Structure 1
Amino acid sequence: MASPDDDPFQPPRFNRKRPTTSFCRGSSSSDTTGNYGARPKRSHLHADLNTISKWTTKTLDEFGIAYYNDPITIEEFTIKIQSRAHEVCDKKVPDFVSTLKTLCKRGLVFSLDLPEKETLKSLDKLSDSTTRLREILNNFDTFINDVLKKEDEYLGKEWRNKALFFAWSHNVRSFLNYYKKFLDIMNSSMTESWLAKPVREAHLQELFMVFSKIFFLEPEMGDKEVKRLIIGAHVVSCIPDIRFTCLNPLQRSVLLMLTEVKKVEPFPENRSFEPRKTRASSESSSESDQTSGNYIHRILSINVLGQHGGELLSELRSSAFAPTMVVGCICMGTEIIFTYMEMMQTHLNKIVYDGKCDGETSLIRYTKPLNYLIEEDRNKCLDLLFLLGFIQTSGYEDLYPNSEGGK
């Protein structure tokens, strides 16, 4: 296959400067209720911790749960999911998925801006973003028409390939159109939109949900179902922002991935993630030095980490990879950190029945943040996102149960 530079169907590239983003130190937006057990010697830690939304990394430590010091690569994360995929979906990934990945790299050659707080007052900025988005949409339509001119070469003769292609192109346009709506909302009123946490997080949730559909993922709001975890003599309720649930086998719903979405708030000393990372790595201590905190502790607050860890624990038993693994995702603005936690059944039993861990330890692994609005970062996620969409839809049969070549 010709290189992208030789491809006559490749639309003009939009090289955008990576937007400045930062991470939230705030508390959860999840609506949770309940309580949990505690060790007598540390009971002071639990004075105000009545819900998972108030959990911190200290709470996780009570139950023997910790984030690994260093992140793993997105490739390592993908391999981990691939190694467990057969437990949920026994179908073989069709060759056409490779074509879809190629189409993503050739057709989604754009990076989008997340409006910054200080630029919201500028009508010129909004106008420029809207004009550029129209150009991106026009070029994407041109790309789709060029692909259809060589339909047999790209799509082959199989009906399902064509169905997936048209669904994929529709979902890309839906994402771009919602992004325009998102820009309008964020710029409509700095006071009412940008600074109002519930409003902004709700639209960030919707933006990520629409983006995930490009890869045939089927998101649903977390409050559709309340999960309850027994810890000792107490019951803790959990509602993540977004769930991705498999409906195969039909007799029981199983969780593919849970997602927590946070709005972006600046760190006082520096707004962007990259300078924080550069500064931290230049310090004399190593990245794994416990005295300076591990990698993820330097980019996310103990509240966000505690809550997400509590959600992983609460959803473990309903995970598609139960009883030992659960997959998650943290969205900070438009940056994604994929996570998974592995826990032995003996550890979970001690938490559930005794309300403590008694020396047991389970680790949460995670990736570095990737911004799905940025072309370079988005391309790194393609393998994982298409794999997750394939698993959730049982080899796309949940989407097209009567299509040819469904197996």
Structure 2
Amino acid sequence: MTSTSDLEQLAEIELQKEEEEEDEEEGQRCVTDGPSVPPINRSSPDSSHPYYDVARHGIIQVSGDDKYGRKLIIFSSCCLPPSHQLNHRRLLEYLKFTLDQYVEMDYILVYFHYGLRSSNKPSLKWLREAYSEFDRKYKKNMKTLYVVHPTNFIRIVWNIFKPLISHKFGKKLTYVNYLTELGEHLNYEQLIIPPDVLRHDEKLRAAQKGGPPSVKSPHPAPLPTQQFGVSLQYIRGKNNEAMIPPVMSQTVTYLKEKGLRTVGIFRRSAQVKTIKDVQRLYNLGKPVNFDEYRDVHVPAVILKTFLREMTEPLLTFRLYSQVQDLLSVESSLRVSRCKQMVESLPEHHFIVAKYLMSFLHTVSQQSIVNKMSSSNLACVFGVNLLWPRDGSISLDALTPINIFTEILIEHFTTVFGSRCPAGQVTP
């Protein structure tokens, strides 16, 4: 029987072998001084950030929701600097600091393994400490841990940790060999993927004869009845010029009737198969009866998924940069600034946004029962309402988005009160 120390030594040997192979294949190209190119859309955190020393490397990112309404948290090994340049205890604290904002809702962890080397890897002792410090509140709502581009090193480490890991937690681990496979589960375009990882994936696919197709394969033409993955204008044109998309009006109506007093509404996910089935029904133009599913979280997830899969966010690409500047506006002036931004929206987007925010304001008024305050709702909905053209949102970009969304919900009457375009609908 192989001892733990033997496995640790074997893991170290395997990691060194992988490094040598990478160096040979890439002409001695070395990443020990950090990633050769900074991650996509990684904005530098403010130097006043409590974990600036760690956050500035972009190792941990929050990247919106997956296809089923669960928060996505990403850990990129290739962003780890050499160990002597990073306090790994601080890294663990920063990871917990990030997770603390989302552990009350269902979430997903994505671990990009490529780029881990002897020079930058945390010790196995550190990994054990990390696992022991992640108590039930962290593990309970983590639905899946995706390990992307796993190697023999990962599998050996997994064997080391098996005795410590519960069977229930172990079932959450999913190995992903190519980014195309990840795209089957997540909104691939919205992930923050470091360029080094993209290049590595291209190399793996090129080496795999007849391997998986490129992640950039074109989307098929939408059906006339399509609801998900199309624009507001497309839905309106195919639904007799209805101002409020059917998915939104039906989910909001149902949730107003049966979901307002549900604790943690919008924080929980639903069965993946159920969500796929409901999306398929909507896209085929067939009726959906939410009572059949006996789960109020199904329409809640469907509403978030509908918003996230729009080809342009409800609050538009144009507003994204303006919202990012919100932190530079004095607190006392932010409501009026948000009102100006919202009133600049195209009429159809304004009407639908007003309809949605009126509903979320109603949800927040029941927060004593459902525990969903304006702030909590903003944390859930912000990334589903606004994102940049490339789809990925850095961790630091979330703060102004959440503040903006919270203002829209909390000060709904002030923000949406004066503009009354023709055809507006109130939920």
| TM beyond 0.5 | no
- Does 1 or 2 have the higher relative contact order (CA < 8 Å, sep 6+)? 1
Instruction: Give the TM-score taking structure 1 as reference length.
Output: 0.32
TM-score by length of 2: 0.31
